[in-house]
């Protein structure tokens, strides 16, 4: 992201965009077919004319880019040092109010993170041209160079699964904008090459929010590896941030209109400012709203599944859940009836006992994400301690006379876990097809062209895509 004014500030989000959700859902499933190419071209053509209207912190002259880069890195490091000093002095977390807040953040970023690196996919077809090799190496590193433990999309999918946040497809339109932009750029590298280079320049800079996010997720006992990996690979010395600056200098024309090309780079850079970025996403969290949405979703399948013997405020549970708009009133009725007792100890709420525990009658109805959200909603301000919903009853209960709960960091918990062996290679129908098709091709050049199509955002995180990425990485630069 850009490193001047706060990235993705809501004041920079008034633009009317084509349907980002539709484009995202279509392109991420169908890939670069004719309709996808038409949609993505129209999408970018509709968005980019608005970019010069937005304030841009890039220099007017590309010759000043190096000085801009140096100053931006120094500013980020200085601001992070201030953050660390403030935390050491007792300041609360800057971003996440509780564990549920952090899990909300992970889920809300899913449409963007599950196409990580996609904006550079179109450069795979340009593997013969050395001026694109830096950008292409960045793309392959986003893909982990075929190593599943380093593939960014696969890492994020596993992170979501670890916290029951795999179901994110009902997120509002604004959360799809960045992912749609990345897919569109990836499928339109030929038409929008300067914009791809500019977007990459903005996205690969090391932002303050990435450093703080990694720090606070670890503090809450949530694996920060996806974010710390970006801190290291985006470093300003030899990583993606440095390479993004070098790429601009390499592709700026010497014979053509340099000023016009640079303006298009600036336009691509400003695409980073659209949609819900990290800071805006964090600020959008409202736990009451999230809990209401969870119960509204459950009411659709659960309004006829309860017996009539239990009544809340004179009405059956089935009756309460028969209309989604009644959910907030139903939750209030549960509080008035004593089924939900707001406070630091969730065990005081009979309703929580229905959801979690050895004899929970509603065990399995709510997933890990939903349980953490309900848990922290019940606990209210006490949830700032980061207690996971799985904290068992044999642990000291929170309360005025109990020692405060302290969440172990994720890294501390990992040190206590036994090492787990790595499984062998996974072979499926697609990897078999990949192997068989490569055997029919006449030589390395033909194989490399074919592999370039298999390492698309659709495939690269799957077993066949990982295998193809390994081979492409070997062939493209040899």
The β-bridge partners of 312 are: 315
Which pLDDT does position 235 carry in this prediction? 77
* Same domain membership, residue 262 and residue 160: yes
Please indicate, yes or no, if residue 234 is contained in any of the structural domains. Answer: yes
For residue 422, is pLDDT > 90?
Answer: no
Of 9-18, 44-53, 210-219, 439-448, the poorest mean pLDDT is in 9-18
Please indicate, yes or no, if residue 399 is contained in any of the structural domains. Answer: no
C-beta neighbour count of 212 within 10 angstroms: 23
For residue 398, is pLDDT > 60?
Answer: no
* Same domain membership, residue 61 and residue 132: yes
Structural domain count of the chain: 3
Please indicate, yes or no, if residue 28 is contained in any of the structural domains. Answer: yes
pLDDT tens, position by position, 148-164? 999 999 999 999 999 99
* Same domain membership, residue 95 and residue 176: yes
Of 62-76, 193-207, 321-335, the poorest mean pLDDT is in 321-335
* Same domain membership, residue 341 and residue 470: no
For residue 401, is pLDDT > 80?
Answer: no
C-beta neighbour count of 1 within 10 angstroms: 21
* Same domain membership, residue 301 and residue 182: no
* Same domain membership, residue 92 and residue 40: yes
Cα–Cα dist 370/293, whole Å? 10
For 97-125, what is the mean pLDDT? 97
pLDDT tens, position by position, 206-256? 999 999 999 999 999 999 999 999 988 877 777 899 999 999 999 999 888
* Same domain membership, residue 341 and residue 211: no
* Same domain membership, residue 166 and residue 77: yes
Which pLDDT does position 1 carry in this prediction? 39
Last residue of a domain, one of 372, 394, 416: 394
307: confidence class by pLDDT, cuts 50, 70, 90: low
For 183, the token pair is 């897919």
* Same domain membership, residue 73 and residue 172: yes
For residue 120, is pLDDT > 90?
Answer: yes
Among 104, 82, 106, residue whose Cα is nearest residue 94:
82
* Same domain membership, residue 300 and residue 260: no
Please indicate, yes or no, if residue 412 is contained in any of the structural domains. Answer: no
Phi first, then psi, for residue 312 (nearest 5°) are -115, 120
For 166, the token pair is 């795999």
10: confidence class by pLDDT, cuts 50, 70, 90: very low
pTM of this structure: 0.89
Last residue of a domain, one of 283, 298, 322: 283
Name the one residue in this structure whose structure tokens are 């953040």.
105
Kindly report the CA angle at 377 between 214 and 329, in degrees rounded to 5? 145
Last residue of a domain, one of 379, 394, 409: 394
Please indicate, yes or no, if residue 400 is contained in any of the structural domains. Answer: no
* Same domain membership, residue 447 and residue 323: no
* Same domain membership, residue 184 and residue 217: yes
Please indicate, yes or no, if residue 378 is contained in any of the structural domains. Answer: yes
Please indicate, yes or no, if residue 414 is contained in any of the structural domains. Answer: no
Please indicate, yes or no, if residue 264 is contained in any of the structural domains. Answer: yes
Of 202-206, 210-214, 313-317, the poorest mean pLDDT is in 313-317
**Containing structural domain, residue 354:** 287-394
């Amino acid at each position: 992201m850009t490193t001047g004014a706060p990235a993705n500030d809501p004041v920079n989000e008034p633009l009317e965009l084509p349907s980002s959700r539709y484009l995202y859902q279509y392109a991420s499933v169908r890939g670069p077919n004719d309709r996808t190419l038409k949609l993505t071209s129209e999408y970018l053509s509709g968005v980019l004319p608005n970019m010069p209207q937005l304030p841009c912190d890039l220099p007017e002259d590309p010759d000043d880019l190096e000085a801009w880069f140096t100053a931006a890195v120094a500013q980020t490091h200085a601001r992070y040092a201030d953050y660390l000093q403030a935390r050491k002095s007792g300041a609360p977390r800057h971003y996440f109010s509780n564990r549920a807040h952090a899990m909300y953040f992970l889920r809300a970023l899913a449409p963007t993170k599950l196409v990580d690196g996609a904006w550079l996919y179109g450069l795979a077809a340009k593997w013969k041209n050395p001026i694109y090799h830096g950008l292409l190496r960045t793309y392959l590193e986003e893909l982990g160079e075929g190593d599943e433990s380093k593939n960014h999309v696969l890492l994020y999918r596993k992170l979501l699964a670890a916290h029951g946040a795999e179901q994110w497809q009902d997120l509002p339109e604004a959360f799809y904008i960045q992912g749609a932009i990345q897919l569109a750029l990836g499928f339109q590298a030929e038409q929008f090459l300067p914009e791809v280079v500019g977007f990459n320049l903005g996205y690969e800079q090391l932002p303050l929010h990435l450093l703080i996010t990694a720090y606070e997720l670890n503090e809450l006992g949530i694996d920060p590896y996806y974010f710390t990996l970006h801190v290291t690979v985006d470093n300003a010395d030899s990583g993606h941030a440095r390479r993004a600056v070098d790429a601009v200098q390499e592709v700026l024309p010497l014979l053509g209109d340099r000023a016009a090309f640079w303006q298009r780079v600036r336009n691509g850079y400003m695409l980073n400012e659209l949609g819900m970025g990290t800071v805006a996403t964090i600020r959008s969290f409202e736990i009451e709203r999230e809990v209401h949405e969870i119960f509204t979703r459950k009411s659709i399948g659960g309004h006829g599944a309860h017996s009539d013997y239990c009544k809340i405020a004179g009405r059956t549970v089935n009756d309460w859940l028969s209309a989604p708009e009644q959910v907030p009133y139903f939750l209030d009725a549960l509080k008035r009836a004593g089924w939900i007792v707001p406070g630091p100890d969730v065990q005081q709420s009979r309703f929580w006992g229905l959801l979690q525990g050895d004899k929970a009658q509603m065990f399995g109805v709510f997933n890990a994400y939903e349980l953490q959200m309900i848990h922290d909603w019940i606990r209210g301000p006490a949830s700032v301690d980061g207690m996971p919903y799985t904290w068992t009853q044999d642990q000291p209960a929170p309360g005025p006379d109990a020692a405060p709960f302290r969440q172990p960091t994720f890294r501390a918990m990992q040190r206590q876990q036994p090492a787990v062996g790595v499984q062998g290679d996974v072979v499926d129908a697609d990897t078999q097809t990949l192997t068989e098709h490569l055997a029919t091709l006449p030589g390395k050049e033909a194989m490399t062209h074919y592999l370039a199509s298999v390492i698309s955002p659709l495939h690269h995180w799957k077993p066949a895509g990982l295998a193809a990425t390994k081979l492409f990485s070997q062939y493209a630069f040899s």
